[in-house]
Structure 1
Amino acid sequence: LKDAHLKVGIMCTIGPRRFTGLLTDFNMRHKGIQLQLVEGVPSRLSQLLEAGEIDVAIMSSSEKFPERFDVTPLFRERFMLAFPTGHRLTQHETVPISAIDGEIYLRRVNCEYWDHLSHLCVERGVKLRISYSSEREDWIQNMVAGGLGICFLPEYTAVIPGLQVRPVTEPEVTRDVCLVTVAGRRFSPAVSTFVGAVKSYGWAEGASPVSMRRSAA
């Protein structure tokens, strides 16, 4: 393929760490395909996908995807709790939801699992004090590292130095990251090639989860 174009929607809360290997391999094998990544929240990506403004989407949902989409799960990741160095939660290898009662929470506005996570807190009588919120993942992480509060993060998020992260437990919370296409829609050669590459990629052998301890260096 030469001078072929491909638009891939990426949910804004999905980090690049699990996809770098795929994109590197795809570029080596298919240099004639120009790939554009389009970032967005699930509702926006769904609209773009239906309208044909993007070809495929990589996203997750806390609810079942609509039947108008074909969905292929790629990998599962846990939710982690992020907090600053020296925080009282550092002593935990995993953090039960009950352990964060009374903490100041910095909300990632685009987190598609926030309603689910907050419901888990309410069910267990856990009260969080919502402080700042932002659409910017980097701002939230920097504020957490600066001691302004804690936040939930997906397992394969690119984490800045200065953050401590631990898996959330009791209960464990996970999400499936999926390849999503419009059911019955005919693929162009470029889209078909990309979909095949994504489905055949060794996701189970992918990148390691984020390190649980990051230095401030």
Structure 2
Amino acid sequence: MEMHQVRYFLAVARTLNFTRAAEDCNVTQPSLTRAIQKLEEELGGLLFRRERALTHLTDLGRAVQPHLQRTFDAAEAAKALADHVKRADVVPLALGVVDALPVHELVEPLRHLDSAIGGLELTLATGAQATLLEDAMHGDLDALLITHVGDLPERVESWTLAREPILVLLRADDPLASRESISLDALRGTSWIECGACPTRRAFVQLAEERGVALAIRHRAAGEAQVQLLVAAGLGRSLIGAFHPLRDGLVTRPFEDVQLDRALAVATVAGRRRSAAADAFVRAARARAWGVAA
């Protein structure tokens, strides 16, 4: 798949007219049609149906449109950045990532950013959200990836990337693992593993108390990896985001009667001019389909 094929497809999807799309892309209609046909061959099906003067997307076309749009947006952002910084020897980016974020999601955005910026110099910081926000306000971080947007400082601007469902985390041999879903009442009296860096877990404990379900908080961990370690060791149960990879021997189950999720968001300090690298990262993060395998 080549980028001009994606551009032609998006133009036809936008205009629903091959002639107008060819004009917008500054190519001949036969060239645009051939590129679309080649794309259809690669994807294994028709993307458009043409009925006289009427053109519309097929089911396959509608399914791939948002993915191709994100691919095109990310490529355009990377190209714009490369044009902007091609004479620079070093392009710094100080990025803060909260402990609770599934860091494997960063691999593709950072890989594409590095390939687009010859002089990228990345400084990656992890920690509690409050600490990272303070560092950003002081100018030490250019951009943040956060998991809680309910009480951000007024000067912080954020864009939600996805909503991550929150699931019950337990060992595969746990008696509750045989259930398709778990009710809140089933956790009554359970040995619970808390994580002070996670507002979602604190909110869940409070919700359980309000509904008369007492959780025995006996162990505490500093981050997501430590939570999984303690659950794997058989010390109790906990929560985890659905996007996180699991250690061997652990499973997750959805709640039966509680709906929990959290925001994954990219944030910067409002009113502060973003560097070229920070701007490109924000755009790349917003273009990515988070929680979906690349």
Residue equivalent to 1:180: 267
Contact 1:102-1:126 within 8 A present in 2 as well: yes
State whether structure 2 residue 105 is matched by structure 1 residue 18.
yes
> Which residue, 193, 197, 215 being the options, matches 2:284?
197
1-structure distance, mates of 2:143, 2:211: 38
State whether structure 2 residue 288 is matched by structure 1 residue 207.
no
- Where has structure 1 moved over 6 Å in runs of 4 or more? none
Aligned ranges for residues 1-217 of structure 1 at < 5 Å? Answer: 1=85, 2-61=89-148, 63-199=150-286, 201-203=287-289, 206-207=292-293
One-letter amino acid of the counterpart of residue 58, structure 1: L
Higher relative contact order (CA 8 A, sep 6+): 1
- Cα RMSD after superposing both structures: 1.8
User: Is the alpha carbon distance of 1:62 and 1:194 closer, same or farther for their aligned partners in structure 2, counting shifts above 3 Å?
Assistant: closer
Shift of 1:65: 2.2
1-structure distance, mates of 2:133, 2:164: 21
Q: Secondary structure at the match of 1:164?
A: strand
Contact 1:3-1:33 within 8 A present in 2 as well: yes
Q: Secondary structure at the match of 1:54?
A: coil
User: Is the alpha carbon distance of 1:163 and 1:180 closer, same or farther for their aligned partners in structure 2, counting shifts above 3 Å?
Assistant: same
Structure 1 portions without partners, runs of 5+ = 209-217
Q: Secondary structure at the match of 2:229?
A: helix
One-letter amino acid of the counterpart of residue 238, structure 2: C
Shift of 1:89: 0.9
- % identical aligned pairs: 25
Query: Which has the larger strand fraction?
Result: 1
2-structure distance, mates of 1:39, 1:125: 35
User: Is the alpha carbon distance of 1:136 and 1:71 closer, same or farther for their aligned partners in structure 2, counting shifts above 3 Å?
Assistant: closer
Shift of 1:205: 7.2
2-structure distance, mates of 1:169, 1:181: 36
Query: Which has the larger helix fraction?
Result: 2
Shift of 1:19: 2.0
Shift of 1:146: 2.1
1-structure distance, mates of 2:197, 2:110: 24
1-structure distance, mates of 2:196, 2:126: 15
User: Is the alpha carbon distance of 1:173 and 1:43 closer, same or farther for their aligned partners in structure 2, counting shifts above 3 Å?
Assistant: same
Q: Secondary structure at the match of 2:255?
A: strand
One-letter amino acid of the counterpart of residue 202, structure 1: R
One-letter amino acid of the counterpart of residue 113, structure 1: T
TM-score (norm 1): 0.88
CA deviation vs aligned residue, 1:120-170 (integer Å, no higher than 9, x gap): 101221111111112143333122112211011111123211111112342
User: Is the alpha carbon distance of 1:140 and 1:115 closer, same or farther for their aligned partners in structure 2, counting shifts above 3 Å?
Assistant: closer
Shift of 1:207: 2.7
